[in-house]
Amino acid sequence: MAATSSGNRPAATSQAAIFARLWETDNGKLPLTLARHVLKLGFSQEDRARMHELAVKNQEGRIARAELEELDNYVKAGDLLALLQSKARRSLKQQKPGSSRHG
């Protein structure tokens, strides 16, 4: 496995991990303002309903090829969002006490 610049842990090579690193500062954290914003992001009710519809079709084996690709795109977007939100939570948790306002 490839190592990160620190040499201690394997580098994440998924599309989501690579894209998420574009948002990081030199210390590997998200800027705090961005971290707070990322935690507010989520799929719309319309998108959640569509994902559910596609998942049901997939489980029942009646999903069309284009719909399967659409479901895969939702999964990839969800993975990216989850990764960014994990980084955001870690960045906010690791901020120095008293370094910014809470709330």
pLDDT in tens, 2-45: 444 444 445 688 887 788 788 878 887 888 999 999 999 999 99
For tokens 């500062």, the residue is 25
Q: What is the pLDDT of residues 58-81, one digit of tens each?
A: 999 999 999 999 999 999 999 889
- Give the residue among 37, 23, 36, 42 at the shortest CA–CA distance from 81: 42
Residue type, 49: A
Model confidence, pTM: 0.71
What CA–CA distance (Å, rounded) separates 20 from 34? 12
